[in-house]
Amino acid sequence: MKHEDHITARSTASLEDETKKESIFLTEVHSSENSSTHGPKYIHWIYKLDALGVESTGIERVSAEERERLAASRPMWHLFGETIGLWWAACGGLTSMSSYFLPTLLFGLNMRDAMVSGLISMIIGCMLAAYASTMGPKSGLRQLVTARFLFGEWGVKFIALISIVGLVGWSIINCVLGGQILQAINHNISLAVGIVVLSVVSLIVAIFGIKVLLKFQTVLSIPIFVATILFYVVVCQKIEYVSQSNQMIKEEGNSAVTTRGNWLSYFAVCYSITLTWLGGAGDYYVMYPASTPSYKIFLVTFFGIAVPTVFVGVVGTICGNIALSYPPWNEAYNTYGVGGLIVETFSAWGGFGKFVVVILYISLICNNIMNTYSSAFDFQLIDPRLIYVPRWIWATLVAIIYFVLSVVGRNHFLEILTNFLPMLGYWISIYIALLLEENLFFRSSIERKMLHEKEFDGSYEELYNWVNWNNPKGRTMGMAACLAFLCGVAGAVVGMNQVYYRGPIADKVGEYGADLGMWLSFGFTAIAYPGLRYLELKKFRR
C-alpha cells in the first residue's frame, strides 16, 4: 500500500469508534466484580472495597467526558487550591529539606556556594517536572502510561521498574529519617518504631486514592508551613555561627577545582530532589478537564514544588552550616543523624519543641503517601494482566517492600541519600530529553499529524492519539527511545561520581571528583535520539 493510501485509510477511522473500543476495554476491566469471565475469581472481592471509598481504578484512561463532568461538580479554583496544598505538604517538609543539611557538613561548601548550587539546581528540576505534568490533563493518563508513546509496549516495562525503585528509595529515605526523629525525641524508642508508624499511615491514605489524598495533604499543609516558620525562628537564633563555619571551611584549604567538583556533586543531589517528581507529576492532574490551559498546569506545578522547596531548602542550608561550628548541634548530628540535629534545634523549647518536631515528622508521611500512590500504577505497566489487580494491592506491596528495606538500612541514611538521589536524576534526565525532543521535533511536524489518524487542529492533544494508550499497534514501537536510553546510560556511567564507582570523566575534577552523570546522560540521549527516531519513523511509520 502506498504511504498516502495508508494514511488515508487510517484517517477514515472515526473518533467515536476509537472511543467505543476504549470503553469496551474499560468495561471489561471493571466488570470483574460482577462477572466471572473477566479476571480470576479470587480477586472479585477486592473490587467490593470501592463501595467503602477505596479507589480501585488503575492505569485506565479517564475519558475527556468524565473529566468534564467531574470539573463541573466544583469550581476550578477549588481544584487548583487542593493541588497547591498537595505539593506544599509533600515538598514543604523534611523530605526536601533533608538534603539541604548536607552541603557544609558533607560536601564542605560555604554558605554562598551551598545556596547557589542548591537553589539553582532545584529550580531546573522544578521546570522539567512542571513541563511533564502538563500531559496529565491532555491525556487523562498517569505519567508513565504516557511513556508508552515513547518507549513502546516493552520498553516501558523497564522504565516502570526503574520508577518503582526510585519511589521505593525515596520512601526509604523518609522512613529512616522519621525513625531518627522519633528516636532522638525519646531515646528509648527503637528506630524501627518511627519507620512502622510512617509506613502504616502512608499506606492507609494512599489506599483510599486521589480524592482523600488531596484533602489530607491540603489540610496538613497549613501546620507543616507553621512548623517550618518556627524552625526558622530557632535556627536563626544561632545565625552568628555561620561566619565561624565559613571560616572553618576556608581553613580546610581545598583547592578551587576540588571545591567546584563538590559544588557540582551537590548540584546533582538537589537537582534530583525536584526532578524526581517528573516520573509521577501528571498522576495528580488526570481529573482536570482536557481544556485546562497547559500554562496553568505548568505554573501550578512549578510554583507548587519550587516555593515550598526553596522555603525549606534555605533554612536547612543555614541549619547544616551552623551545625559545623556549634558543638551541641554537631554532636546531635553525629549521634542521631539529621533527625537528631532537627530535634536538638528545638531542645530549648521543651515539650512544645518536641510537638513542632512531630508536625515536621508528619511532613514525611505526606511525601511518602505520594510515593506509595504513584508506584502502584507502575506495577500495572509491567504486564497487561496486572491491571486486573487493583491499585491498592500494589500500594500495599510497595509499603511492605520499603518498610523491610528501611529497617535493614536504617543505619545508613547518609549513604542512601547521597548515592541514591543522583542515580534517580540520571534516568529521569534521559526520560526528559526523550520527551522534549519527541514533542518538539516529532509530534509537531506534518509527518506526525498525518500518522496519528485524526484531523490535526494544532492543539497539543491532537499530537498524541491517547485512545491508543492500551493498543500497542497504535503507538510507536519504542526502539529509538530504548536505544537512545542506552546511550544515556553510557553517559551516566562515564560521568557518575559515587562511593562505589567514579566515572573516568568525573574523576578528572578535583580530589573527590564531580558528579556529571545527569549532564552527560541528558546530552548523550539528546544527540542520539533524533537520528534513531527518524529511522524508526521511516521504517515502521509509527
SS (H, E, C) 330-382: HHHHHHHHHHHHHHHHCHHHHHHHHHHHHHHHHHHHHHHHHHHHHHHHHHCCC
Please give the C-alpha separations between residue 18 and each of 102, 274, 414, 453, in angstroms, as whole numbers: 52, 37, 51, 10
pLDDT score of 76: 78
What span, in angstroms and rounded, lies between the C-alpha atoms of 317 and 335? Answer: 19
Residue 211 burial (CB count, 10 A) = 13
The predicted structure's pLDDT at residue 131: 93
Q: Poorest-confidence range of 46-55, 162-171, 345-354?
A: 46-55
User: Domain-by-domain residue ranges, the chain?
Assistant: 58-411
CATH class for the region spanning 58-411 = mainly alpha
Work out the number of other CB atoms within 10 angstroms of the CB of residue 46.
18
**CA separation for the pair 170, 247 (Å, rounded):** 34
Average pLDDT over all residues of the chain: 81
Instruction: Write the pLDDT tens digit of every residue in 364-377.
Output: 888 888 888 888 88
* Residue 165 and residue 344 in contact, taking contact as beta carbons nearer than 8 Å: no
Residue 235 corresponds to which amino acid?
Answer: V
- Give the residue, 413 or 228, on which the prediction is more confident: 228
Q: Does the model's pTM come out above 0.85?
A: no
- CA dist., res. 11 & res. 465, Å (int): 12
Is the torsion defined by CA of 137, 139, 140, 143 positive or negative? negative
Sign of CA dihedral 469, 207, 213, 95: negative
Q: Note whether 92 and 58 are within 8 A (CB).
A: no
pLDDT at 413: 62
Q: Which residue has the higher pLDDT, 32 or 523?
A: 523
The residues, ordered by sequence, that sit 6+ positions from 440 with a Cβ below 8 Å of its Cβ are none
Q: Write the burial class of residue 530 (CB in 10 Å: 0-12 exposed, 13-18 middle, 19+ buried).
A: middle
Per-residue pLDDT averaged across 468-495, rounded? Answer: 90
Radius of gyration of the chain (CA): 24
* Per-residue pLDDT, 521: 94
Buried b (16+ CB within 10 A) or exposed e, 88-103: bbbbbbbbbbbbbbbb
Q: Which of 100-109, 172-181, 376-385 has the highest mean pLDDT?
A: 100-109
Summarize pLDDT for 192-249 with one digit per residue, the tens: 888 888 888 888 888 777 777 888 888 888 999 999 999 999 999 999 999 999 999 9
Angle of helix 111-133 relative to helix 294-325, nearest 10 degrees, comes to 160
C-alpha cell read off for 355: 510537638
| All residues at 6 or more sequence positions from 435 whose CB lies less than 8 Å from its CB, including other chains | 131, 132, 150
Q: How far apart are CA 205 and CA 198, in angstroms?
A: 11
Q: Strand, helix or coil at 238?
A: coil
Give the whole-angstrom CA distance, residue 333 versus residue 331: 5
Our measurement of the distance from residue 139's CA atom to the centroid of its chain's CA atoms, rounded to an integer in Å, reads 19
Locate cell 568525573: which residue? 506
Q: What is the pLDDT of residue 510?
A: 79
Q: Is the pLDDT of residue 456 over 50?
A: no
Q: Any idea which of 21-25, 319-323, 420-424, 511-515 has the lowest mean pLDDT?
A: 21-25
